[in-house]
Structures are given as C-alpha cells and as structure tokens.
C-alpha cells in the first residue's frame, strides 16, 4: 500500500483521522469534490447532513474504484460543510460511520474540515474531495 497513516506522539490523537500520511506510490489521483448525488444526479438526503455525508463518501469510493484505488490509498480529504458549527460533528461522524460500514473500511486519512457559506446548489450540505496515491 502506498499510504502510511501516522499520529505523531507530540500531537493530539484524533479518532476521526490521522495527523500525517506518507505516500510512496507513483501516481496521484485527485477526486473532484463529491456531493450527495446518486448516479442519476438526484440529491440524496435533502436536509439530512448525515445522509449527505454518507453519500459523499460512497461517491468518493466509487470515483476511486474507477481508477483502481480505494480509501486505503487516500492521502488527504477536504470536507466542506455549509454553515458549519461544532454541534454538527455528531451528524458528520454518523455519516462517515455509515459509509465506512457499507464500504468495509476505516477512512482515517488526514482531513481538513471547512465551513462554507454555500455549495453548488442550495440542497447540498457537504462536499468531499480526495487526493490518493497509487502504484
């Protein structure tokens, strides 16, 4: 596997992600921000942050699989959440957990969570982009 995830001993350990990833593969994979669309472009979970997070992770996994990658190859995630406040963290984690269960993975690469004013359409609450490394 080209990705090694690390929690440095002098930084806090975060359950949801690791602080550092070391990539040793030879190809970079950049996945565009994925929103909560199904294969037909219909928004999944309108008004439901957990459902939208789940669908975004499933869409990232689908995009990765298309090029022979998986969450094991992800070096970095960026998560954009509309009108983010810390009280939304349980819903974010619920969506991640549901997607991880469906995918049979533990997606813990380094991640950045950004609060944004809006996304592409009003019904989208979250967008997730990924960078992966494969051999």
What does the pLDDT read at residue 18?
Answer: 87
- pLDDT for 122 beyond 90: yes
What rounded mean pLDDT belongs to the chain?
Answer: 94
Report yes or no: 56 and 127 within 8 Å, Cβ to Cβ: yes
- pLDDT for 29 beyond 90: yes
Burial (0-12, 13-18, 19+ Cβ within 10 Å), 48: middle
What does the pLDDT read at residue 38?
Answer: 97
Least confident piece of the model among 10-19, 27-36, 39-48, 91-100? 10-19
- pLDDT for 83 beyond 70: yes
What does the pLDDT read at residue 61?
Answer: 97
Burial (0-12, 13-18, 19+ Cβ within 10 Å), 97: middle
């Amino acid at each position: 596997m080209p990705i090694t995830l690390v929690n440095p001993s002098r930084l806090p350990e975060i359950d949801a992600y690791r602080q550092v990833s070391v990539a040793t593969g030879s190809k970079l994979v950049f996945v565009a921000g994925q929103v909560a669309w199904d294969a037909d472009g219909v928004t999944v979970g309108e008004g439901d942050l957990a459902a939208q997070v789940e669908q975004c992770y499933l869409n990232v996994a689908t995009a990765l699989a298309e090029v022979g990658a998986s969450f094991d190859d992800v070096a970095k995630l960026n998560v954009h959440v509309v009108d983010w406040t810390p009280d939304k963290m349980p819903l974010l984690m619920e969506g991640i957990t549901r997607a991880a269960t469906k995918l049979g993975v533990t997606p813990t690469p380094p991640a950045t969570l950004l609060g944004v004013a809006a996304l592409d359409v009003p019904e989208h609450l979250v967008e997730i982009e990924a960078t992966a490394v494969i051999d």
